[in-house]
Amino acid sequence: EPEVTQTPSHQVTQMGQEVILRCVPISNHLYFYWYRQILGQKVEFLVSFYNNEISEKSEIFDDQFSVERPDGSNFTLKIRSTKLEDSAMYFCATSPQETQYFGPGTRLLVL
């Protein structure tokens, strides 16, 4: 069964550094999402992406964040200058329409 994959599984970075989180969607899916889960808290929506542009973004998704689909397959989330509070599990999700399928997540630790 096709799955959403994410790389890396874990990333440790210094505050102020840039990180890029990668996701490979299920091949026929058209809608892409990023969510994050700070340890012990609920899963929060960051951004949705369709037809090569952002459909919706949350208040969390400020100018430090960006998304793109550079090569038609990968879907990336970039954090330009990481802060301590960006430490979280980041989930990619993809969808053919209404049901979203999640990847295993990238655990980001900012020191």
Partner 1 sequence: GDSVTQMEGPVTLSEEAFLTINCTYTATGYPSLFWYVQYPGEGLQLLLKATKADDKGSNKGFEATYRKETTSFHLEKGSVQVSDSAVYFCALNPSNTGKLIFGQGTTLQVKP
CB closer to partner 1 out of 55 and 81 = 55
Q: Is 58 in the site for partner 1 (CB under 8 A)?
A: yes
Query: Which residue is associated with the tokens 């989180």?
Result: 21
Selected from 21, 25, 33, 82, the binder of partner 1 by CB under 8 A is 33
Rounded to a whole number of angstroms, the minimum distance from the CB of residue 16 to partner 1 is: 28
CB closer to partner 1 out of 18 and 27 = 27
Q: Is 35 in the site for partner 1 (CB under 8 A)?
A: yes
Rounded to a whole number of angstroms, the minimum distance from the CB of residue 41 to partner 1 is: 8
Instruction: Convert the chain into a string of H (helix), E (strand) and C (coil).
Output: CCCCEEECCEEEECCCCCEEEEEECCCCCCEEEEEEECCCCCEEEEEEEECCEEEEECCCCCCCEEEECCCCCCEEEEECCCCHHHCEEEEEEEECCCCCEECCCEEEEEC
Other C-beta atoms lying within 10 Å of the C-beta of residue 82: 21
Rounded to a whole number of angstroms, the minimum distance from the CB of residue 104 to partner 1 is: 4
- The residue ranges that bind partner 1 (CB under 8 A) are 31, 33, 35, 41-45, 48, 50, 55-56, 58, 91, 93, 95, 97-105
